[in-house]
Chains A and B, each alone.
Chain A
């Protein structure tokens, strides 16, 4: 029972739970975001142990490398009043607790089901699961995959369209025109006869 992979799993799981608790208890939102980074990273290590190396690395690449950087970017610039955030704690506790209880119940149902316990990693460990995932995504599931991509694209376009404001008063330039500029457009050389000093 006490083999090395079990010990590793326990270590990662403890760090993951600790980081998760840190996310909701840290006083500063920047610390919360950093705990979330730690949680993602540890989660990725757990996936790596399940031999899902593609998912594990993509989790780090996308969530740690890009999404959380932008999160930090925004959180750092916010001027959050911690006291005001804490005001409604007792009022919102029953609702939050109810949702949490429901989530625990759902998770217990999933984990205890027969299907979940049969989902163990394939022992034929040598297959590159990047290749297999790519093949499945672009053959069997190509329409649902493309559909998801289009939905994301629509969301991006909508978010940009909603927030785009063109400022009339800002001086804005056209790089294409700048590149095409010739010396003659900006400067005129005038030939003048030399003047004698009086």
Chain B
């Protein structure tokens, strides 16, 4: 089967094979995004003692498909005063980084599209471009609410990226590598989940998850949307599928942050106990746990005020990450890292 395909495409085969692998990642991802929206409505529904969507299909399981069809059929309205080219470009720029980052995410040691050495740096660089979608959507709409949302989002994302970057620096200090496969392998040990990075880097883990919530503009950091203050923020002028793309990007980013947190702090595909085999299902379980936290945050916390978001980012998270960076650096030095308990993690 593979040989006949290879013969059919000839010299183009590497290109075709890569495209097939990209589709194998993106298509299930889009399905996961669709069902994450349903999970969100169900989970928040149960937290608020409601049932949630239950009309379309058994237990409401076809609801995301109905929503998708509805959004596809709607008209995309381009405001006459807008900058048309950038207005159309903005949703593309929002979803591109959310998908491109998956190129280096390993699902198991061998199941990875591109096992590059600078994987972590690549992820940081690509995800830092997601803000352009929001900023350009806000500016190109030529609307005051959208513009306010764009400005809030730009400042917020740039601020939390610093804390997030520092949290990841401690991870790469622990594993001596920027390669995501090596980062997971460095957490391997006979004690299972006790040897993962989340214990020695616990403050960094907390900061990473919270900064990830802020980076994806999720509640309680959703001032860029702020439906009670600025209507819907940066995407107030968007309708139909263009609007849906922003939502796809937000949920794809949530899944990405969950995957990265699982890989870097919770041992990725490693099994939590030594008598069970490692496997991709562990990674999915850990991602689901982080995603559940995101939904839980949204159901629990009221929206942060803008100045308090800035205070949390600059005056709390960045100092904490800087101090932990020094502590990790010290613990990695020669006499300390050989001590009985510390040698579980620092090597």
Contacts and interface: CB of A to CB of B under 8 A. Distances in A.
A64 B128 CA distance: 8
Contacts of A34: 86, 136
B308 A76 contact: no
A159 to B, nearest CB: 16
B131 interface: yes
Nearest to A64: B129
A70 B150 CA distance: 12
A171 B151 CA distance: 23
A73 B118 contact: no
Contact of B128 (A65, A76, A77, A175): A65
Interface in B70-123: 86, 116-118, 121-122
Nearest to A175: B311
Contact of B158 (A66, A77, A130): A66
Given A69-B154, A76-B147, A130 B118 contact: yes
A15 interface: no
A39 interface: no
B154 A72 contact: yes
A65 B121 contact: no
B265 interface: no
Contact of B117 (A30, A69, A130): A130
B155 interface: yes
B139 interface: yes
Contacts, number: 66
A13 interface: no
Interface in A7-64: 30, 34, 37, 53-54, 57-58, 60-61, 64
B66 interface: no
Contacts of A37: 132
The B contact surface, by secondary structure, is helix
Interface string B303-347: 000001001000000000000000000000000000000000000
Interface in B133-181: 135-136, 139, 147, 150-151, 154-155, 157-158, 161, 178
A54 B139 contact: no
A75 to B, nearest CB: 9
B303 to A, nearest CB: 17
A144 interface: no
Contacts of B129: 60, 64-65
Contacts of B132: 37, 69
B236 to A, nearest CB: 16
A61 B131 contact: no
B189 to A, nearest CB: 24
A73 B161 contact: no
A57 B118 contact: yes
A76 B161 CA distance: 21
A130 B124 contact: no
Interface in A78-115: none
Interface of B: 86, 116-118, 121-122, 124-126, 128-129, 131-132, 135-136, 139, 147, 150-151, 154-155, 157-158, 161, 178, 308, 311
29 contacts: A53-B116, A53-B117, A54-B118, A57-B121, A57-B125, A58-B121, A60-B125, A60-B126, A60-B128, A61-B121, A61-B125, A61-B128, A64-B128, A65-B124, A65-B125, A65-B128, A65-B131, A65-B161, A69-B131, A69-B132, A69-B154, A69-B158, A70-B154, A70-B158, A72-B139, A73-B151, A76-B135, A128-B117, A130-B117
Closest 6 CB pairs of A and B: A65-B128, A60-B125, A61-B125, A57-B121, A57-B125, A73-B154
Given A65-B131, A73-B155, 9 more contacts: A53-B117, A57-B124, A61-B121, A65-B129, A72-B154, A73-B151, A76-B139, A76-B150, A128-B178
